[in-house]
Structure 1
Amino acid sequence: MSKRVWALLAATMVSLIYGVSFTIAKDVMPVYVQPFGFILLRVMGATVLFWGISVFGPKEKIALKDFPRIVAAALFGVALNMLTFFKGLSYTSPISAAVIMVTTPIIVMILSAILIKEKIKWHKIVGILLGLFGTGFLILYGKSVGNATNAMLGNLLVFINAVSYGFYLIVVKKLMDKYNAFTFVKWIYTFGLLMVLPFGWNEYQAIQWQNIPVTILWEIVFVVVFTTFFTYLFNLVSMRELKPTTVAVFIYLQPLFATIFAMSLGKDHLTWVKIVAAVFIFIGVYLVTKKKS
């Protein structure tokens, strides 16, 4: 298989893991672990894993002038990204959060055009809009609205999260072109850990491990190992071969995979809305990932 096919598979795996994680994370939060405590747990676990696996990676030295970029990647890709999403989700309804999140590919497309002068082809614009329509359709008509305690603040925080992720994809692309992923990802998470520590420490200390059932402990392990560690690695694999705009469009698959997983557990059922939405999403992703001959 070509490197591009591997990159597309890696990006699909990220969406699949995130889609499954929506259901799993709901089992853990907020009953057993509070949101910021969970973020600290995720970042701490992933930092240990990345430092451990880096022993087997190539022995490269990071230039001192690249550390500000690594700190920026930690801010946009770990700290700001995770904290604003979890906090925003606690204030707004899941439906509003999901609708705002799917604007990410459009934000990335605009930022890529401005910051790295990426030329946006017409089929990518059509693909992003089709995917946006399909995902919006799935979210608006496929799920219940839910409660919102402070919708305006929550929606703003989720939007900041979407913009933050867009900046991260662009910032990390330059590092990918220069170093092997194992060389710098451990540093991104180390700086990210220092950033989330003040926000999550109290909630982390409040975790009552002795009261957590074994099934929930395994779900916490899944979130740390797969949703944090592996998704970050897969994302970096896809970033090496694909443009930020292409990587971002895979976010459209997340609500689709989340719905499929929920249906497999009997928590959701198939409707014509979901079928139509799936068709639009897959056509959109195909158009964006299609390489011009």
Structure 2
Amino acid sequence: MKLRYWLFLLLCNLLWAGNMVTGKYVVTEFTPLWITFLRWAISIVILFPIAHFYEKPDWKMVIKQSWLKLAFMGILGIVLFNILTYSALKYTSSTNASLVSALNPAIIMILSVFLLKERMTFVQIMGLIISFFGVVVILTQGNPLQILYTNYNKGDLLMLGVDLSWAVYSIMGKKMTGVPPITATAISSCIGVLMMLPFLFNEPLQFNKITTHGIAGIVYIALFASVCAFVLWNISVRSLGAGKASISLNLIPIYTAVINLLLGKHLDQAQIWGGLIVLAGMLLTSNIFKQKREAVNFTIPKVHQAK
């Protein structure tokens, strides 16, 4: 039943919005590398038993046949995505970070055209343009005409890299049809943790900075924003597809804004208007207004090789 997977996505994105807010505080006590490492080191302890008893995979066969794809998923979705996210939160607000991340569906759809040979309608293309304009409004603090002269916030620019890494990760997740979703998450996160190990020696933990709030934040990020959210996301992507599932990512800035407002923070006009423009563009991109429009074929023509 498709409704179940959409409900999974509603919860998944709420948990990720919490990660944005929590990460903003945790990054003051841990470096982005240590947050990412601890997040997934804790997560794999839970993910592997769940995968083993629930999905019952043939571990040797999975690793033998798909280790390269799983390694790339570990690099993109575990290491790069997380380190860039927490690095961005050192320089920008959680609201801004979530608003820029709203470009994710657009990037996924663009990559789907090139990598999965999917089609886009004219309305979807207009939605992409509108969404990009909304992000420009956020990046330029409400002065889009100053795009060539603005000193951009480093965190907002890093979030564009986060969007790209997540888009490729999601598309790869869709193509991992031979590996159960929880198993794929467990193995790719384990690979990511092993890759980070050598770099930890250059960034020793500063125990004098760590508080109970920081430890609680790490636990939340590991259990809820990692184990629960990633499992729900991968299960939903496998059923609905990366393109459809990515529509739900538009909820992250809404959830984040609500959480921040409940915590007593305020939104400035650039964030409000830019966010509304981004979301309006995403509604068009997702084709939420059902149509029977003729698709504009932007697929890359196949090259016929000589036999």
Return the TM-score normalized by structure 2: 0.75
Cα distance in 2 for residues equivalent to 1:273 and 1:152? 14
Q: 2:51 aligns with which of 29, 49, 54?
A: 54
After superposition, give the CA deviation of every residue in 1:200-249 in whole Å (9 maximum; x if it has no partner).
4544x4142x8644343322211111112111111102201223223333
Cα distance in 2 for residues equivalent to 1:73 and 1:13? 22
What residue is the counterpart of 2:226 in the other structure? 228
Q: Which runs of 5+ in 1 are unaligned?
A: 143-149
Q: Which amino acid aligns with 1:167?
A: V
Q: 1:38 aligns with which of 22, 35, 40?
A: 35
Query: How far 1:96 moved relative to its partner?
Result: 7.3
1:249 correspondence with 2:247: yes
What residue is the counterpart of 1:164 in the other structure? 165
Q: How does 1:120-159 map to 2 (within 5 A)?
A: 120-129=120-129, 157-159=158-160
The structure carrying a bigger helix percent of its residues is 1
Cα distance in 2 for residues equivalent to 1:96 and 1:263? 14
What residue is the counterpart of 1:189 in the other structure? 189
Q: Which amino acid aligns with 2:225?
A: T
What residue is the counterpart of 1:173 in the other structure? 174
Q: Which amino acid aligns with 2:45?
A: V
Q: Which amino acid aligns with 1:116?
A: L
1:284 correspondence with 2:282: yes
CA RMSD of superposed structures (Å): 3.5
Counterpart contact for 1:100–1:155, Cα < 8 Å: yes
Query: How far 1:164 moved relative to its partner?
Result: 1.6
Counterpart contact for 2:76–2:168, Cα < 8 Å: yes
Query: How far 1:93 moved relative to its partner?
Result: 4.1
Q: Which amino acid aligns with 1:22?
A: M
Q: Which amino acid aligns with 2:205?
A: A
Query: How far 1:274 moved relative to its partner?
Result: 3.8
Cα distance in 2 for residues equivalent to 1:138 and 1:151? 10
Query: How far 1:133 moved relative to its partner?
Result: 5.5
Cα distance in 1 for residues equivalent to 2:9 and 2:132? 17
Q: Which amino acid aligns with 1:179?
A: V
After superposition, give the CA deviation of every residue in 1:80-127 in whole Å (9 maximum; x if it has no partner).
22223333554x544875565343322221211111112223454455
Q: Which runs of 5+ in 2 are unaligned?
A: 143-150, 293-307
What residue is the counterpart of 1:77 in the other structure? 77
What residue is the counterpart of 1:147 in the other structure? none
Change (3 A) 1:258 1:157: closer
Q: Which amino acid aligns with 2:169?
A: Y
Cα distance in 2 for residues equivalent to 1:155 and 1:207? 27
Query: How far 1:182 moved relative to its partner?
Result: 2.5
Counterpart contact for 1:102–1:132, Cα < 8 Å: no
What residue is the counterpart of 1:8 in the other structure? 6
Query: How far 1:173 moved relative to its partner?
Result: 0.8
SS of corresponding position for 2:170: helix
Q: Which amino acid aligns with 2:105?
A: P
Query: How far 1:50 moved relative to its partner?
Result: 0.7
Change (3 A) 1:161 1:245: same
What residue is the counterpart of 1:145 in the other structure? none
Cα distance in 1 for residues equivalent to 2:232 and 2:130? 25
Cα distance in 2 for residues equivalent to 1:221 and 1:110? 35
Cα distance in 2 for residues equivalent to 1:99 and 1:80? 19
SS of corresponding position for 2:55: coil
Query: How far 1:181 moved relative to its partner?
Result: 1.4
Change (3 A) 1:286 1:253: farther
SS of corresponding position for 2:47: helix
What residue is the counterpart of 1:216 in the other structure? 214
Counterpart contact for 2:78–2:192, Cα < 8 Å: yes
Q: Percent identity?
A: 22
What residue is the counterpart of 1:103 in the other structure? 103
